[in-house]
Amino acid sequence: MKIALGQIDMVWEEKEQSFQKAEQMIKEAAKKRADVILFPEMAFTGFSMNIEKIAEPEQDSLTRQQMERFARQYHVAIGYGWAAQGKKADQKAKNCFTLLDKEGKDLAQYTKIHPFSYGKEDQYYQKGKEIVTVPFLGRTIGLFICYDLRFPEVFSIAAKKADIMFVIAEWPASRRDHWKTLLRARAIETQSYVVGVNCTGTHDGLEYSGDSMAVDAIGNVLGCLEEKEGVLICDLDDKAWILREKFQTAKDRQEDFYTKHYEFATQES
């Protein structure tokens, strides 16, 4: 599978201008025969809490319409982050990751399970309630967003079905070492390919270094793009399941033990 990572320097809270940048990246990905191009969390607005301005109707999204058109026009699947309005006027928004096939049809949509409370995201965005995996080109993909990366449990659950994890993010440069380390850690512990795409530039006063990268199932970095806007192309082979069969760390997990002691520790606290 050939994956393009669209490390975009989006225009803050301005979708239309960001779409223009994204289209050039999609063209490049299509020219290089990528199967899919991924864009960061809230890819065309930035990680904004201004939901009145950036959030879109879940069933009638301008971003969805635009990405559908690009997918059909350039014959490439597209994954992107965006903000969806709550179903009710007083309901929090959703931080979403949508994956479209090359015909622009929905393959999957994931809502971020772990809003970033340190950045007050939880005050504006609701928690997702479902781990999402989806078949794609003979593989199975798990979808995650940014802060999810710090919670290995959800990756281990996804790895029961998935052999590739897509992580879209807006991860600040001040914690870039964490980003790189955690991407490799999630790959090693789940024996999965992990693909992380981040933005670059300065947005709402924060610096972003990019560091979009793909990691194989034993933790080798297959490619990384640092500190500039651009498209990184990475090829993923299909050896994760072979590795899992040979080196069966998942089989040695003691999930009943973990659950029992986690519940005990929670009660004690």
Q: Is the predicted pLDDT of residue 261 greater than 90, yes or no?
A: no
Q: Among residues 146, 180, 199, 234, which one is catalytic? A: 146
On average, the pLDDT of the chain sits at 96
Share of the chain above pLDDT 90, in %: 93
**What is the C-alpha to C-alpha distance for residues 84 and 54, in angstroms, rounded to an integer?**
8
The domain of 84 spans 2-268
Q: Among residues 92, 94, 112, 180, which one is catalytic? A: 112
For 201, half-sphere exposure in the C-beta direction (CA atoms, 13 angstrom radius) is 17
Q: Is the predicted pLDDT of residue 266 greater than 80, yes or no?
A: no
Confidence of residue 202 (pLDDT cuts 50, 70, 90): very high
Mean pLDDT of all residues in 6-26:
98
Show the beta-strand stretches assigned E in 47-138: 77-84, 94-100, 106-111, 132-136
Closest among 47, 51, 48, 146 to 92, alpha carbons compared = 51
Active site residue 41: yes
**What is the C-alpha to C-alpha distance for residues 217 and 194, in angstroms, rounded to an integer?**
8
Show the beta-strand stretches assigned E in the chain: 2-7, 36-38, 77-84, 94-100, 106-111, 132-136, 139-145, 164-168, 193-197, 200-203, 206-215, 221-226, 230-235
Q: Among residues 21, 41, 92, 199, which one is catalytic? A: 41
Confidence of residue 264 (pLDDT cuts 50, 70, 90): confident
Distance between alpha carbon 232 and the CA centroid of its chain, in Å?
A: 15
Q: Which two tokens stand for residue 15?
A: 């979708």
Q: Could you tell me the sign of the dihedral formed by the alpha carbons of 42, 44, 46, 52, in that order? A: negative
Q: Is 23 exposed, middle or buried (0-12, 13-18, 19+ CB in 10 A)?
A: middle
Active site residue 146: yes
Instruction: Tell whether pTM > 0.75.
Output: yes
**What is the C-alpha to C-alpha distance for residues 39 and 26, in angstroms, rounded to an integer?**
10
pLDDT at 267: 73
- The letter for the amino acid at 190 is T
Q: Euclidean distance between the first and final Cα of the chain, in Å?
A: 46
Strands 132-136 and 139-145: antiparallel
Q: How many domains does the chain have?
A: 1
**How does pLDDT run across 43-85, given as a tens digit for each residue?**
999 999 999 999 999 988 999 999 999 999 999 999 999 999 9
70: left (phi over 0), alpha (psi -120 to 50) or beta: alpha
Mean pLDDT of all residues in 6-24:
98
- The letter for the amino acid at 1 is M
204: left (phi over 0), alpha (psi -120 to 50) or beta: left
pLDDT at 88: 83
Active site residue 112: yes
**How does pLDDT run across 97-115, given as a tens digit for each residue?**
999 999 999 999 999 999 9
For 92, half-sphere exposure in the C-beta direction (CA atoms, 13 angstrom radius) is 16
In the chain, what's the furthest Cα-to-Cα distance? 58
The CATH number that applies at residue 259 is 3.60.110.10
pLDDT at 269: 60
DSSP state, residue 103? T
